[in-house]
Amino acid sequence: MIRLYTFGPAFGLPDPSPFVIKAHVLLKMASVDYTTDTRGFNKAPKGKLPYIRDASGTIIDDSTLIRFHLERHLGVDFDTGLSPAERGTAWAFEKLCEDHLYWVVMRERWLNDRNFDKGPRRFFDVLPRPLRPLVAAKVRRDVRKALHGQGLGRHTFGQMDEIAVRGIAAIADVLADKDFLMGPNPCGADASVFACVASMLSEYFETAVRDAASRHANLVAYRDRGMARWFPELTSDRAVAAAPAPT
């Protein structure tokens, strides 16, 4: 059986990582039986989650590579029924979420002090008390550096949010009154777009992107639809406590 390495539910979300949420959804869309394991972070080949180990022991260490693996080995076409133009649009929106809005979510959680204290700081609670502030400060520095390299971290929060609001509106405009991004059924990009929208809408954090996304009723309904479809076990109580730190 496939094993999916995750951080575990947190912040009212199936996982603090949108990429892990995406991997869950892809596996569910492909109707694959899988188990989850929250003890894999230290052995992650690329130092990141998610990754999967399949029945033959093969490791696939990236959410998009997991998608390709499922397409190749199970013959799944996540975009069945879409025209080439729709497939292209779906792919572009997936990457808007992963390579742009993801970084906004990261910055709001890790570099806004209030959000950091109630959220990511809790990841370090498994460490011996004296080590916690040191490791937390180091990881925070790494996040700051990554955001600087990516570019969004060079803006003020206000400038970044102004840019992010356009991306959020673009998703809302393309979704319009459809149930899923490209039509009545989910396509591959919905794994990523749902993960991004749900992460932005997390009630656990106070962020400008949460406020912007919650002004679009169709995005809120889309999040609720995805939660009910893929994570019904979490829909009754979104106030899940912060996850234990990855070990």
Ligand X SMILES: N[C@@H](CCC(=O)N[C@@H](CS)C(=O)NCC(=O)O)C(=O)O
2, 21, 49, 90: which one binds ligand X (CB under 6 A): 49
- Contact flag: residue 4 with ligand X (CB under 6 A): no
- Contact flag: residue 48 with ligand X (CB under 6 A): yes
Rounded to an integer, what distance in angstroms lies between the CA atom of residue 30 and that of residue 241? 29
8, 12, 40, 50: which one binds ligand X (CB under 6 A): 50
Helices then strands, counting H and E runs in the chain, come out as 11, 4
Q: Which part of the chain contacts ligand X (CB under 6 A), choosing from 29-37, 60-68, 200-208, 222-230?
A: 60-68
* Residue closer to ligand X (CB basis): 20 or 172: 20
63, 115, 202, 207: which one binds ligand X (CB under 6 A): 63
- Contact flag: residue 192 with ligand X (CB under 6 A): no
**CB proximity list for 156: less than 8 A, separation 6 or greater:** none
188-200 helix and 217-230 helix, angle to the nearest 10 degrees: 110
Q: Which part of the chain contacts ligand X (CB under 6 A), choosing from 31-39, 43-51, 76-84, 222-230?
A: 43-51
Rg, Å, the chain Cα set: 18
- Contact flag: residue 207 with ligand X (CB under 6 A): no
**DSSP-derived 3-state class of residue 149:** helix
Rounded to an integer, what distance in angstroms lies between the CA atom of residue 157 and that of residue 213? 16
Contact 4, 34 (CB under 8 A): yes
* Residue closer to ligand X (CB basis): 50 or 167: 50
Give the shortest CB-50-to-ligand X separation in angstroms: 6
* Residue closer to ligand X (CB basis): 21 or 187: 21
Q: Which part of the chain contacts ligand X (CB under 6 A), choosing from 45-53, 80-88, 114-122, 199-207?
A: 45-53
Q: Which two tokens stand for residue 21?
A: 């949420």
Nearest CA-CA partner of 214 in 165, 177, 181, 174 = 165
- Contact flag: residue 62 with ligand X (CB under 6 A): yes
Task: Count residues near ligand X (CB under 6 A).
Answer: 9
Q: Which two tokens stand for residue 56?
A: 């033959």
DSSP, res 183: B
Q: Of 119-158, which residues contact ligand X (CB under 6 A)? A: none
Which H or E run contains 51? strand 51-53
Residues making contact with ligand X (CB under 6 A):
17, 19, 47-50, 62-64
